[in-house]
Amino acid sequence: MSDPPPDAKTVTAAVLVIGNEVLSGRTKDANLAYLAGELNALGIRLMEARVIADIEAAIVEALNELRARYDYVFTTGGIGPTHDDITAESVAKAFGVRLLRHPEAVAILERRLAGRAPLNEARLRMANVPEGGELIKNPVSGAPGFRIGNVFVMAGVPSVMQAMFQGLKGALVGGAPMRARTLVTDLPEGQIADPLGALQKAHPETEIGSYPGYSPTGFRVSLVIRSTDAGAIRRAGDELAAMLAGLGGHVLEDRAE
């Protein structure tokens, strides 16, 4: 991906995790964290993520809300051969198009199974794609995902989803990439909050976040300055470092991301 111009518009995305198993606590979702990191690196701003159940009405509603609101939507889960895999049908309903058997997907499944197992009706369901959809390759286990409009439909198994995403990401157009600088301090949030708020006001072209947490060496606060403008990050970060020093605190880490 070539660097976009500095005034490029913000490109936004949402992730839709489809699967009862995450909501029941059976499975810890790993796909959101992966996609958040990847999209951020591509200059695509993940604005929202939802986890919903395998219920057609819920999928249709969430998908239609998200695809209207954001530049890209990435779904994970529900594209296997079993009765609880209803993502393809639901996406077709959301777009108001027919669900068709995609000849290239059938050919992929045939090659994959050749001689080992029959291409039965259940497996053929994995070749069903909403009309107008283009396949997303699955180098891990064969059965493809698909793209329709601004929606990318991927598998739920993390290794498969990741391989699909690596294959499709070249087609995504990112905006200016978000850069970050993180300063970690031993000062409590309550002590830095007022001057930090003033710093945020003085640097509106940055977003300054404050994230408290426990580390093995004690309570720490990570202050993260994010912007598409590297110079703005540098200026705000230098002022922040001076502010922390002025309050008698230490900057335990200062790293660019």
Find the length of the chain.
Answer: 257
> Which residue in 96, 209, 230, 255 binds a copy of itself (CB under 8 A)?
209
- In angstroms, the CA 173 to CA 179 distance is 17
- Beta bridge pairs of residue 254: 183
One-letter identity of residue 252: L
The H or E element spanning position 18 is strand 11-18
- 7 makes contact with a copy of itself (CB under 8 A): no
* Cα–Cα separations (whole angstroms), residue 107 to 67, 102, 132, 151, 205: 30, 9, 18, 23, 51
- Is residue 213 part of the contact set for a copy of itself (CB under 8 A)? yes
- What single DSSP character describes residue 171? G
Identified binder of a copy of itself from the candidate list 6, 7, 68, 82, rule CB under 8 A: 82
Q: Which of 168, 180, 251, 252 binds a copy of itself (CB under 8 A)?
A: 180
Q: Which is nearer to a copy of itself, 134 or 189 (CB)?
A: 189
117 near a copy of itself (CB under 8 A): yes
Q: Does 235 bind a copy of itself (CB under 8 A)?
A: no
Smallest separation (angstroms) from a copy of itself to the CB of 42? 11
Q: Which is nearer to a copy of itself, 132 or 182 (CB)?
A: 182
Q: Using the rule CB under 8 A, which residue among 89, 134, 177, 210 binds a copy of itself?
A: 210
Q: Shortest Cβ distance from residue 37 to a copy of itself (Å)?
A: 4
**By the rule CB under 8 A, 2 interacts with a copy of itself:** no
Q: Least CB distance from residue 248 to a copy of itself, whole Å?
A: 12
Tokens encoding 141: 């286990």
Per-residue x/- track, 18-57, a copy of itself (CB under 8 A): --xxxxxxxxxx--xx--xxxxx----xxxxxxxxxx---
DSSP string, 107-146: HHHHHHHTTTS---HHHHGGGEEETT-EEE--TTTS--EE
Q: From the CB of 2, what's the least distance to a copy of itself, in Å? A: 22
Q: Is 220 left (phi over 0), alpha (psi -120 to 50) or beta?
A: beta
